[in-house]
A and B are shown apart, each in its own frame.
Chain A
């Protein structure tokens, strides 16, 4: 139900950080009952723009206009989150802003009650919330603590939190990143009904499929500027991507490869669940050389435990691990490396690099005792520098130079550094855990291409990803992880795999 009645208008929003212009004179309009999708690569300025709308950042220039119910135009004072909340603008952040030690109802009421009151009237609040849940179709257990909820439930709490304040404009920042396809569909159905009642939505997503099915209009940002806008009805994947990256996007092509001997075999692996991670229940996996095995699933179902077992960071309580050269009950980081397991960790900033060391040092950090790198405990600085120059060029690692601290690289370049370090040694097994998460199209495509190339060279690749589209496009075989169990599926159908991800037998 799109009307021409405006609710929000951003005019000439500009924000500079040092010499970088993160947002450059962006105009954006939103009508009542409209879903506007905001698209762009990482660093295109989407988050900066939304942070300005919410008063988290004060814009260098530009203004935010809002229209209230009666159609009266008002200017939002810059740099004040309070003003945005009062103008009934709500935001569901990509990273949940929930206090995990509090109940659902406390999280929703937070900030809506007077602080210095010795009592609270929660009956009225609860009644309003119950009505809201029925009305929106978004349900959450009100008295449960956030820490006991699934991510899907947390997401609903985030949205209810905004709706409770009677928002008229809702910003959703990558709302489906952590949901199963079914949960995502349910979310869109609920949002659709809210939109039909006059809610306006700004929707940020990387998933073009969702954008095409859910939005009314699409605005594309690139390098901090708005480069295009179109009605969703007139858009298709190709035209959007061309607008986003400014050129034709060539998705990596997967052709069936030639599989060989077993590269890694896990048999009956059990790991007890940890405080923040799921465990593993009798997981077996047979990885052949020359294939990519994709492991799909919503994060937190044991993927981290599996990755840690293969990386040698955790010893399983039972089971065995067999590589091309040895069989054992547990790997250590050292034996994992020695047996040719290359690791691309999930948290690339934290586990993938040592931020305080230079690019050159990070490139050899897994083989410091290699004679090419050191002799008698002394590093060969010039050989390392030459090596780093060569690898940086080959893998297109861009940054302030090989002697700069790795912390100064962008996320995409850190990932290229890790790829260079891992692939250079031609490992027989490559463990890629969320290798493209948070990367833009170009960087993600580059990572995918490298993984396929490694497979074609004869490596066995384990690809753990929350992005089902990525698994579908890269993997030769697909396994689904749920509640610590690994199930192989022959199906390449999204909804069938989605059922498995949600724990329903296919």
Chain B
């Protein structure tokens, strides 16, 4: 029991939680933006892979990490555009299109990797983002290591939470996006374009998702592996419901999952002899399901989620 308390008191535990949460923050924000406009984007898992691969590849070829981040977002946006064209003006099933995008993107990235690096035994590495050592602040006890020794991408994620909250809550654009996900007829009757709003939200949301993938190859690790996304996209889809489509709660949800995951690693080392490690591996998922069950009962679904809208039709 004492051991667990010690885990919670250690700064390395909280730093790890935030680090693990970072890709999820990007992903949840992206999924939130798409779904607020009424479009479910199950392409998220594949778009994570796209972001991971394209960000890393760009950084590897150009040596510029930030160029990698930009390219990751752009390529994620491109796959988002694909999903948006299929589901918004054409009104195809959002589930089918999204899952198709995930399979297509994952396969295409693996194929590209194999084609570009035909004979490598160890994956080529890049120099990843380093922890921002903020003078003075990073020397603070506890807060220093937790907050001020993270990489720039974690800060970008936190910044985006604030930005998205501001847009959704304080700007006319946010109001329009929320409206189009609730009742597209209302938006149309007021002379705004349902199609453009939704496509814009899906493209921007997908770009955010890709940043989550880029974090994996450019900040958490320094290379691209197959299967490295490992279901993080799906976790984000669940976390959006947990967050009830609000950016603030999305951050909370991602942090919670990051915490469970960081806890599980530590418990494994603490009690690994007694209980098989696989049990601990399940912990974050089981706890997430429990949290989701509690939160989802009150979840406030966008009313027009999954519903295609066509002009001149009731």
Contact = CB atoms under 8 A, between A and B. Distances in A.
B152 to A, nearest CB: 23
A81 B181 CA distance: 20
A107 B170 contact: no
B175 interface: yes
Interface stretch (A114-122, A277-285, A398-406, A429-437): A114-122
A110 B186 contact: yes
A122 to B, nearest CB: 10
A190 B311 CA distance: 32
A99 B170 contact: no
B178 A99 contact: yes
Consensus secondary structure, chain B interface: helix
B312 interface: yes
B179 A113 contact: no
B311 to A, nearest CB: 7
Interface stretch (A29-37, A89-97, A239-247): A89-97
Interface string B171-211: 11101101101110111111110000000000000000000
Contact of A85 (B183, B191, B300): B191
A102 B171 contact: no
Given A85-B191, A93-B189, A102 B182 contact: yes
A274 interface: no
A51 B312 contact: yes
Nearest to A115: B173
Nearest to B312: A56
Interface residues on A, range: 20 to 34
Contacts of A347: none
A100 interface: yes
Contacts of B171: 115, 117-120
A97 B183 contact: yes
A82 B188 CA distance: 9
Given A109-B175, A115-B176, A99 B312 contact: no
A214 interface: no
Given A100-B303, A101-B302, A102-B178, A117 B172 contact: yes
B209 to A, nearest CB: 22
Given A81-B191, A85-B191, A119-B170, A97 B175 contact: no
A128 to B, nearest CB: 16
A110 B191 CA distance: 9
Interface residues of B, number: 26
Contacts of A115: 171-173, 176, 192
- Interface hub of A109, A111, A112 (most chain B Cβ within 10 A): A111
Contact of A99 (B173, B179, B314): B179
A101 B188 CA distance: 16
A111 B173 contact: no
B172 A120 contact: yes
A163 to B, nearest CB: 14
Interface string B142-180: 000000000000000000000000100011110110110
Contacts of A102: 175, 178-179, 182
Nearest to B304: A99
Contacts of A117: 171-173
Given A57-B312, A85-B191, A93-B189, A110 B170 contact: no
A111 B176 contact: yes
A55 to B, nearest CB: 9
A115 B314 CA distance: 26
A111 B187 contact: yes
Interface in A223-264: none
Contact of A110 (B176, B302, B303, B314): B176
A98 interface: yes
A57 B311 CA distance: 9
A81 B173 contact: no
Contacts of B178: 99, 101-102
Consensus secondary structure, chain A interface: loop
A476 interface: no
A51 B314 CA distance: 11
Nearest to B189: A97
Contacts of A82: 191
Given A57-B312, A110-B176, A113-B172, A99 B182 contact: yes
A91 B182 contact: no
Given A115-B173, A119-B170, A81 B179 contact: no
A260 B182 CA distance: 50
Interface in A177-232: none
A106 interface: yes
Interface in B282-314: 300, 302-303, 311-312, 314
Contacts of A112: 190
A325 B172 CA distance: 61
Contacts of A114: 172
A20 to B, nearest CB: 15
Nearest to B182: A99
B314 A101 contact: no
B172 A109 contact: yes
A91 B191 CA distance: 12
Interface string A28-65: 00000000000000000000000100001100000000
Nearest to B192: A111
A124 to B, nearest CB: 14
A47 to B, nearest CB: 9
Contacts of B179: 99, 101-102, 106-107, 110
Given A81-B188, A81-B191, A107-B186, A95 B175 contact: no
Contacts of B166: 118
Nearest to A162: B189
A296 B166 CA distance: 46
A23 to B, nearest CB: 14
Nearest to B186: A97
A109 B172 CA distance: 8
A116 B173 contact: yes
Contacts of A101: 178-179, 181-182, 300, 302-303
A392 B34 CA distance: 48
B175 A106 contact: yes
A98 B188 CA distance: 11
A91 B189 contact: yes
B188 A100 contact: no
B244 to A, nearest CB: 11
A91 B170 CA distance: 28
Contact of A98 (B176, B186, B192, B302): B186
A451 to B, nearest CB: 29
A182 B171 CA distance: 38
A109 B311 CA distance: 22
A81 B195 CA distance: 14
Q: Which 5 residue pairs of A and B lie closest in terms of their CB atoms, listed nearest first?
A: A111-B190, A113-B172, A99-B179, A99-B182, A97-B189
Given A101-B178, A110-B192, A111-B190, 14 more contacts: A81-B188, A81-B189, A97-B185, A97-B189, A99-B183, A100-B182, A109-B172, A109-B175, A110-B175, A115-B171, A115-B172, A115-B192, A116-B173, A119-B171
Interface of B: 166, 170-173, 175-176, 178-179, 181-183, 185-192, 300, 302-303, 311-312, 314
20 contacts: A81-B189, A95-B314, A97-B186, A99-B187, A100-B183, A101-B300, A101-B302, A106-B175, A107-B179, A109-B172, A109-B175, A110-B186, A110-B190, A115-B171, A115-B173, A115-B176, A118-B166, A118-B170, A119-B170, A120-B172
Interface of A: 51, 56-57, 81-82, 85, 91, 93, 95, 97-102, 106-107, 109-120, 161
